[in-house]
Structure 1
Amino acid sequence: MTRVVRVGGVAIGGRNPVAVQSMTNTPPTDVAATVAQLRRLQAAGCEIVRVAVPDRAAADAIREIKREVTVPIVADIHYDHRLALAALAAGADKLRLNPGNLRDPEKIRAVARAAGERGVPIRVGVNAGSVDVRFQSSQREVRPEGLVDAALWEVELLERAGFRDIVVAIKAHDVPLTVEANRLLRQKGDWPVHLGITEAGMEWEGAIRSAVGIGILLAEGIGDTLRVSLAGDPVREVEAGWEILAALGLRRRGPTYVVCPTCGRTGIDVPGLARAVRAGLAHLVQPLTIAIMGCPVNGVGEAERADFAILGGRGFGTLYAHGRVVQPRVPEERLATELMALVLQEVADA
């Protein structure tokens, strides 16, 4: 079992649930835009958020950002250890240090002392794209062992300085490389592990690569927190992260949709109904199962097992609630509205 590390009010590691993270993509010195994005992320279920700290002004902005939000803020530090010290002074809840570009042992020890005085954890974040040349097999090749050695170099430096509130992340855009490196890391110590496939791509391919890599590791019991890295709106990262956890039965937030892929038997617009219902219930956090099925072949069984369901016929559908038929032969144009009304009424009565 991994050790427990607290990031603001969120505990990761040990028996705590896998926490969902993201990262803002607004300039941190644009406090209003950053706060607005942080609030959107938190509303979507993000539990820890990283903010880039490219300069002193960004580090100082953390103080003002912290006044406006309650989600824990991680300061993302590269190249200059003084930015870590400034971020700590501004109230950052956690630091991310990159051992690929922060290499001076004495400067790292200075950060460890300052973080220890404030009770702020440090994530040692190794990325294949910025790994120190000492740990590369060649200019064009990085191996799992090299990534692990890069992480352990800084972890051991921190621990020799008496600092133990450490989280470790090893990421690459290559899924097998990331998986194997994290398997090796898990054998080396009890630090909480932050999972992710970095630079995974745009929303479609990035979510797939992340689901494969993160999913493999979580299924093996590796990983205490995660970030799905997508080029685009970071809220989609949070949604994808929760979907991965739900698919593995680890955590759920909001409805899970069981939707028929459709075939020639289908007599209703299943995709259109699913989109309408999903949009209308997007604000829910209750872990419901909602099935939208196009015909009786698998539809009856799925409808009976779901919390709420549509079972399609030809131009109409039957509504189910908790395994029972509650409205037979509802016209197709009313199916989404009537289903959402059933769900929202139950949520309101709960």
Structure 2
Amino acid sequence: MTIARRKSREVTIGNVRIGGDNPVVVQSMTNTDTRDVEQTVEQINSLAEAGCEIVRVAVLNDDAAWAIRPIKDQVTVPLVADIHFDHRLAVSALEAGVDALRINPGNIGGQKNVDKVVDAAKAHGSVIRVGVNGGSLERDLVEKYCGPTPEAMVESALRHVRMLEDRNFDNIKISLKSSSVTDTVTAYRLLGQQCEYPLHIGVTEAGTMLRGSVKSSVGIGILLWQGIGDTLRVSLTEDPVAEMAVAWEILRSLGLRFRGPEIISCPTCGRTEIDLISLAGEIERRLQNETQSFKVAVMGCVVNGPGEAREADIGIAGGRDKGIIFRHGEVIRTVKGGSNLLAAFNEELDKFLAERQGR
């Protein structure tokens, strides 16, 4: 089944087009001190290598704003400056070459300050992302809706958007984030019905690797399945690079985008006679930097393995005394002794990759 994407207008951040008919884009944020150019560049390049396509950086003061210029000179992905309260930092970041801003127009100090930021964004052809967080809504909206409800988040976002539209600025994308999966999904559904701006989706403060991956996968997955979302971030209390694997697996699971191999493996059972958990883990580590898209199967039973994983491009199934390596369900090699399985599979995997690269 093909997912029918929500209709949204197209905007361009650096060299990346989002919205419209463009694919969903993967985004993250550095956790370095932006003033430390060397460390920030290193993390941005690591993120890019892992599949990140837009990176946000925190701009807390003037030194951080002006550090964007030397950072931009050493990275290839577009940068978004995260700004709170101080409009001068937004203007400085734009002058330093940042590709987009993440702000709330209502908290940067009144009409004149909003005018200055909009004028600078127009002059530099930059996008403004209106970012609303359920934990920091305006007091009047919290009182009106008796809490940080999805309806309150949507009204806040549209209030901020109107401040930009009133200044003839519409190079906008919007995010509505909550730590609640259900509130996040409801808010984006409501907002998606009321505007055509591209939407950046994610569940904020989702948690550590396990819990954050689950909450993000559920929330982002529901939204994407309903056609909502033009950029996404998996927010984890973890090295930002770890977010990339989760983000791309979410996209792969819905058939939206593909990066790197898909690894399918059985959950083990009483018939399993090898250390399947370790074998699958070693193969996953072996392929973690591979960007080609193909399917690998790691099965614990030589009886049913090849048949159950017939769609795999290459796979392995192990037993106590032997294992088999197969392509598209056809056995290409039999391996004696369970301890030889990984080495033999790596040999066949090298041949397989070489053939793909040579075609």
- TM-score, structure 2 as length reference: 0.94
**C-alpha spacing 1:268/1:158, structure 2 compared with 1 (3 Å):** same
In structure 2, how many angstroms separate the alpha carbons of the residues matched to 1:26 and 1:199? 18
Q: Which residue of 2 aligns with 1:41?
A: 47
Q: Which residue of 2 aligns with 1:27?
A: 33
Q: Which residue of 1 aligns with 2:61?
A: 55
Q: Which residue of 2 aligns with 1:270?
A: 276
Q: Which residue of 1 aligns with 2:159?
A: 153
AA in 2 matched with 1:120: S
In structure 2, how many angstroms separate the alpha carbons of the residues matched to 1:28 and 1:113? 25
Q: Which residue of 1 aligns with 2:245?
A: 239
AA in 1 matched with 2:347: A
CA drift of 1:21 comes to 0.6
Partner residue of 2:113 out of 94, 101, 107:
107
**C-alpha spacing 1:247/1:146, structure 2 compared with 1 (3 Å):** same
Q: Which residue of 1 aligns with 2:300?
A: 294
CA drift of 1:314 comes to 2.0
Q: Which residue of 2 aligns with 1:126?
A: 132
2:249 aligns to what SS in structure 1?
A: helix
In structure 1, how many angstroms separate the alpha carbons of the residues matched to 2:339 and 2:233? 39
Stretch moving more, 319-328 or 169-178: 319-328
CA drift of 1:297 comes to 6.4
Gaps of 5+ in 2: 1-6
Give the conservation status (yes or no) of the 8 Å contact 1:228–1:240.
yes
AA in 2 matched with 1:41: L
Partner residue of 2:319 out of 309, 313, 317:
313
Gaps of 5+ in 1: none
Q: Deviations over 1:310-341 (max 9, x none)?
A: 12222421101233211024432222222233
In structure 1, how many angstroms separate the alpha carbons of the residues matched to 2:12 and 2:338? 50
Give the conservation status (yes or no) of the 8 Å contact 1:19–1:47.
yes
Give the conservation status (yes or no) of the 8 Å contact 1:100–1:126.
no
In structure 2, how many angstroms separate the alpha carbons of the residues matched to 1:46 and 1:258? 24
2:293 aligns to what SS in structure 1?
A: coil
Q: Deviations over 1:187-214 (max 9, x none)?
A: 0111100001011111110111000100
Alignment pair present for 1:304 and 2:287: no
Give the conservation status (yes or no) of the 8 Å contact 1:100–1:132.
no
Give the conservation status (yes or no) of the 8 Å contact 1:137–1:146.
no
Q: Deviations over 1:210-239 (max 9, x none)?
A: 001000000000000100111120001111
CA drift of 1:302 comes to 3.1
AA in 2 matched with 1:326: I
- TM-score, structure 1 as length reference: 0.96
Q: Which residue of 1 aligns with 2:83?
A: 77
**C-alpha spacing 1:298/1:75, structure 2 compared with 1 (3 Å):** farther
Q: What is the Cα-based RMSD across aligned positions, in Å?
A: 1.6
Give the conservation status (yes or no) of the 8 Å contact 2:27–2:52.
yes
CA drift of 1:138 comes to 6.9
Q: Which residue of 2 aligns with 1:214?
A: 220
CA drift of 1:162 comes to 1.2
Q: Which residue of 1 aligns with 2:170?
A: 164
Stretch moving more, 76-85 or 278-287: 278-287
CA drift of 1:247 comes to 1.1
In structure 1, how many angstroms separate the alpha carbons of the residues matched to 2:206 and 2:190? 21
Q: Which residue of 1 aligns with 2:73?
A: 67
AA in 1 matched with 2:163: L
* Number of positions where the alignment pairs a residue of Structure 1 with one of Structure 2: 350
